[in-house]
Amino acid sequence: MSDNALFYLTGGNMPLVSHAEGIYLWDTEGRRYIDGCSGAITCNVGHNHPAVKQAMIDQLDWVAFSYRTQFESQVALDLANRLVDLSAGDLEKVFFVGSGSEAVESAMKLACQYFVAQGQPERSRFVSLSPSYHGSTLGALGLTGYEPLEAPYRQITLGSIKVPSPDLYRHEEDSVEAHITAVLEETEAAILEAGPETIAAIALEPVGGASTGGRMVTQEYMEGLRSLCDRYGCLLIMDEVLTGMGRTGTWFAYQHFGIAPDILALAKGLGSGYYPVAAMMAREELVDVVNSSGGFMHGHTYAGNPLACATGLAVIKVIDTEQLLGNAVEMGTYLRSHLDQLAEKYSCIGDVRGLGLLQGVELVQDKTSKTPFPAEFNAFEKLTRLARERGLLIYPRRSLNGIKGDHVLITPPLTVTASDIDDIIALLDQSLDAFEQLVSGEGS
């Protein structure tokens, strides 16, 4: 019997973490790693920030837990109001949960209950993109478009109507504009085939995350989706679990496009890895309709947890006072310029994409034809291992519905400096050199 009772995705041995500071983590052997991906694109204000720690300690001196049907807490009220302010009033109501998956499920349930209250219970289906990632609980997994995650549970998930995600790198149309038009037409055709009267919402990530490696959309696409929702009477849900809280250079990524959602899911950077806190934000009109029908039939034990909300407030204050939105823009531009230089240097880099400090690098076997590496080669895992051996943490996934294609995300904390990025690029350069030598050796 193994002396390690833990199990996760695989049985591989990982270093045992010791401590962390800023953009660095150390293992128990004393080796230092640069956190080039903010953990799981989570640690937006870096590790061991004194202001966040102090806020948590101060809250512990008052109360760590209270239950939402028995008490309200001032920190929950304050955090909700602060989030509304950050949305500039686009979204006036907030419901707290503990994780991104819970936030997405909450958004789905609010959409469904809203239409039940409106006398349209048939609106119970969702449209989402493929590839995409929206979470691992059954409802959120039903929205997700990533085959390896979906396949084992297809019999117990409702699933969604999958439509193509815009692909500004691999599209076959003559122009990006023609591609966006084609994707929107296919989306509309799927809605019409399913029956517009059955659609509750369209859900998307405004900038692609783990499943697409920073895949971008365009202004025309966002306007087109909003138009489809308005035309057919369904809602627009934006999953900003990964992109929210300054990651792309604005508080929420949708603000780059000026197209507000009806419901938004938020997590990861809200707690910045210090404590689990997530939120669903929604337009007031939706919540009023649901409340007038008897209230939102949904809840979690840790909804509005005081310690969680105090953490979220502290993270927002750090982002604000340290001007990390501006840093995400400036350092994102600096990071992108260096990644573009690496793309010119290495034949294995097919595309660099993203926004702010959310940057993705897609790996290809042939740059001209954009041919991906064979799936069995596991290029994304090999590059990630080579980087970790050199003391750099990056975030790997597959680009083409999780079946093939390879990418890594470079998403350091928003506190990153130009000198830090120089260090990240130097280690990534060494890793890519070793990767191309490995590829050459495999091919010989």
- Tell me the pLDDT tens digit for each residue of 222-249: 999 999 999 999 999 999 999 999 999 9
* Banded model confidence at residue 444, pLDDT cuts 50, 70, 90: very low
Domain extents in the chain:
17-48+323-443, 53-321
C-beta contacts of 342-351 below 8 A and 24+ residues apart: 342/425, 342/428, 342/429, 342/432, 345/429, 345/432, 346/432, 346/433, 346/436, 347/436, 348/379, 348/432, 348/435, 348/436, 348/439, 349/432, 350/169, 351/169
Q: Is the pLDDT of residue 11 over 70?
A: no
- Mean pLDDT of the 139-163 span: 94
Determine the topology of domain 53-321 in CATH.
Answer: Aspartate Aminotransferase; domain 2 (3.40.640)
Secondary structure of 354-405 as H, E, C letters? EECCEEEEEECCECCCCECCCHHHCHHHHHHHHHHHCCEECEEECCECCCEC
b/e map 86-96, b = 16+ CB within 10 Å: bbeebbbbbbb
Question: How many other CB atoms are found less than 10 A from the CB of residue 154?
Answer: 11
pLDDT score of 13 = 77
* Banded model confidence at residue 8, pLDDT cuts 50, 70, 90: confident
d(CA 182, CA 88): 33
Q: Is the pLDDT of residue 123 over 70?
A: yes
Q: Is the distance from CB of 133 to CB of 148 less than 8 angstroms?
A: no
Strands annotated E in 271-383: 278-282, 349-355, 358-363
* Banded model confidence at residue 5, pLDDT cuts 50, 70, 90: confident
- Mean pLDDT of the 22-33 span: 98
SS3 137: coil
Residue from 354, 346, 350 nearest 363 by CA? 350
Lowest average pLDDT, out of 14-18, 44-48, 83-87, 269-273, goes to: 14-18
> Tokens 């507000």 — which residue?
260
96-112 pLDDT, tens digit each = 999 999 999 999 999 99
d(CA 199, CA 122): 8
The pTM of this model reads: 0.96
Q: How many residues does the chain have?
A: 444
Q: Is the pLDDT of residue 442 over 80?
A: no
> Tokens 């929950």 — which residue?
76
How far the first Cα of the chain sits from its last, in Å, is 41
SS3 236: strand
Q: Is the pLDDT of residue 313 over 50?
A: yes
Q: Which two structure tokens, joined as six digits, stand for 130?
A: 């493929």
Q: Which two structure tokens, joined as six digits, stand for 215?
A: 């895949």
Assign domain 17-48+323-443 one CATH number from 3.40.190.10, 1.10.3720.10, 3.90.1150.10, 3.30.310.80.
3.90.1150.10
- How many CA atoms lie less than 13 Å away from 127 in the CB half-sphere? 30
pLDDT score of 1 = 53
% of the chain at pLDDT higher than 90: 95
56-87 pLDDT, tens digit each = 999 999 999 999 899 999 999 999 999 999 99
pLDDT score of 12 = 65
Question: How many other CB atoms are found less than 10 A from the CB of residue 284?
Answer: 12
Q: Name the more confident of 91 and 13.
A: 91
d(CA 192, CA 182): 15
pLDDT score of 320 = 98
% of the chain at pLDDT higher than 70: 98
363-416 pLDDT, tens digit each = 999 999 999 999 999 999 999 999 999 999 999 999 999 999 999 999 999 999
